[in-house]
């Protein structure tokens, strides 16, 4: 043996000592050169730490019960292998070695497995976990949060208290069911919009009702928003995006972003944009409500067609930006009605008085929207 391939560190100083080894039955004797003197120390094999391989050719062994530890670096592959064998030491890590040892094949297999597992999580496991988590949120919490959000969303707008009362009466006449204490609000706004926040708060903008042709359309709109409430769509959406975020953050190593998600979700509620499946569910359930109360379900179709027609004009109602009306949704409603059939004697609930109030045109000159439009017009003419 020579002194070229092994370096010994005593753990007290950084001095590199050239060394050679004699392998004993129950240990290793290290003969090293210290300032031109030959010295030696013996390691008992049971106190040698788990060895470490660097770059595939340097074996590092550490020794000792207490800090600081002695160590040797062995740059001789044959000797390294013999030591690992003789002393039953193992550098292997079962988890990592398959990929480390299989080069490009490992990369390919690893990529495929990872993408598969990730999709499984992202598409199946996380959505279901999110649903389960959403169902644990108590109604009382939803009501409180929903109210806070509702108030902040309409804080800039004027509540039309007469129409709000009328809408509440209108809803009562429909006889739709809900486990929530529903709270209806009509805000004065030239924008055509409507939304629901968790816990039973439904806000409808006055203009969207004014543009409707028949009360059945309003019944359909209420049915749609009511489904968002009853089926807890906001809560589900929040948990869903939180779960998706967690999956991504695991990959991007960023847990702080959770804060961002929570803040961002104030936004999601703000925009109230649900996924397509949730919107479709809301349409379907709304039709079911109409059937249950024996109200003409074609109100749904005409509501959508009217909003769809509007979207072709210049003046895009805000409702569409959050509830995009697609051909699919219209034909879904039509098909649903075809399948369930239509009756000749639909009831007309006692909604005439409230409907009349809701249809009264409002004066929008003092709303923020009109002010903004004015500013734009002024800028344009200049």
Partner 1 sequence: MNDHKFYFHGEGAKLFGIVIVNLLLTLLTLGLYYPWAKAAILQYMYKETELSGSRFTFHGTGKEMFKGFIKAVGIFVVIYGVLFGLTYLEMPVLGMIFFYLAIFGLLPFVIHGSMRYRLSRSSWKGIHFGYRGDLKEFSKKYYKDVLFSILTLGIYGAWMTMNIRKYTVSHSRYGDVKFDFHGEGGRYFGILVGGYILSIITLGIYSFWWMKDLINYYYNNIEMDQNGTKIPFKSTIKGDGLFGLMIVNFLIVFFTLGLGAPWAQVRTMKYLCNHLFIGGEFDANAVTQTEEEYKDATGEDLGDMLDIGII
Buried b (16+ CB within 10 A) or exposed e, 33-58: eeeeeeeeeebebeebeebeeeeeeb
Task: Give, as ranges, the residues between 244 and 303 that touch partner 1 (CB under 8 A).
Answer: 246-247, 250-251, 253-257, 259
Q: Which is nearer to partner 1, 35 or 381 (CB)?
A: 35
Contact 48, 36 (CB under 8 A): no
Number of neighbours of residue 325 by Cβ within 10 angstroms: 21
- Shortest reach from residue 130's CB to partner 1, in Å: 13
Block residue for tokens 């004066």: 363
Using rule CB under 8 A, residue 127 touches partner 1: no
Helix (H, G, I), strand (E, B) or coil at 17: strand
Using rule CB under 8 A, residue 15 touches partner 1: yes
Q: Which residues pair with 28 in a beta bridge?
A: 23, 43
Binding mask 218-247 for partner 1 (x = CB under 8 A): ----------------------------xx
Q: Give the helix ranges, DSSP H, for 88-214.
A: 94-101, 103-119, 126-134, 139-153, 161-174, 206-210
Q: Are strands 183-188 and 201-205 parallel, antiparallel or unpaired?
A: parallel
Contact 157, 367 (CB under 8 A): yes
- Shortest reach from residue 117's CB to partner 1, in Å: 6
Using rule CB under 8 A, residue 52 touches partner 1: yes
First-last CA distance in the chain? 93
Using rule CB under 8 A, residue 36 touches partner 1: no
Q: Which is nearer to partner 1, 247 or 320 (CB)?
A: 247
Using rule CB under 8 A, residue 70 touches partner 1: yes
Among 41, 45, 60, 244, binds partner 1 (CB under 8 A): 60
Helix (H, G, I), strand (E, B) or coil at 238: helix
Using rule CB under 8 A, residue 11 touches partner 1: yes
Using rule CB under 8 A, residue 9 touches partner 1: yes
Q: Which is nearer to partner 1, 259 or 312 (CB)?
A: 259
What does the binding site for partner 1 look like in residue numbers (CB under 8 A)? 7, 9-16, 52, 54-55, 58, 60, 67-71, 73, 93, 95-96, 98-100, 102-104, 106-107, 110-111, 113-114, 117-118, 121, 141, 144-145, 148, 246-247, 250-251, 253-257, 259
């Amino acid at each position: 043996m020579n002194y070229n391939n092994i370096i010994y560190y005593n753990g007290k100083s950084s001095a590199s000592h050239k060394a050679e080894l004699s392998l004993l039955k129950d240990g290793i004797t290290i003969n090293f050169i210290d300032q031109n003197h030959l010295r030696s120390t013996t390691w008992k094999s049971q106190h040698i730490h788990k060895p470490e391989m660097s770059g595939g050719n340097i074996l590092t062994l550490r020794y000792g019960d207490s800090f600081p530890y002695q160590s040797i670096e062995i740059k001789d592959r044959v000797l390294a292998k013999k030591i690992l064998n003789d002393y039953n030491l193992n550098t292997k890590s079962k988890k990592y070695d398959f990929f480390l040892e299989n080069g490009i094949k490992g990369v390919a297999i690893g990529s495929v497995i990872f993408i598969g597992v990730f999709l499984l999580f992202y598409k199946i496991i996380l959505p279901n976990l999110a649903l389960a988590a959403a169902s644990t949120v108590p109604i009382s919490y939803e009501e409180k949060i929903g109210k806070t959000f509702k108030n902040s969303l309409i804080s800039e707008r004027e509540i039309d208290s007469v129409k709000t009362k009328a809408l509440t009466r209108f809803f009562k006449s429909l006889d739709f069911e809900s486990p929530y204490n529903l709270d209806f609000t009509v805000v004065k706004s030239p924008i055509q919009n409507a939304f629901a926040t968790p816990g039973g708060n439904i806000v409808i903008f006055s203009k969207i009702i004014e543009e409707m042709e028949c009360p059945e359309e309003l019944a359909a709109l209420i049915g749609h928003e009511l489904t968002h409430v009853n089926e807890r769509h906001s809560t589900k959406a929040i948990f869903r995006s939180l779960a998706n975020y967690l999956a991504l953050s695991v990959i991007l190593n960023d847990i702080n972003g959770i804060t961002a998600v929570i803040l961002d979700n104030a936004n999601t509620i703000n925009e109230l944009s649900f996924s397509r499946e949730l919107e479709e569910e809301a349409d379907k359930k709304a039709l079911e409500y109409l059937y249950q109360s024996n109200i003409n379900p074609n109100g749904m179709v005409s509501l959508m067609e009217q909003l769809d027609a509007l979207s072709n004009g210049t003046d895009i109602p805000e409702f569409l930006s959050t509830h995009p009306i697609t051909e699919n949704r219209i034909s879904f409603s039509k098909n649903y009605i075809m399948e369930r059939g239509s009756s000749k004697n639909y009831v007309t609930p006692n909604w005439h008085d409230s409907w009349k109030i809701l249809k009264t045109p409002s004066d929008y000159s003092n709303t923020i929207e009109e002010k903004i439009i004015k500013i734009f017009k002024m800028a344009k003419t200049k």
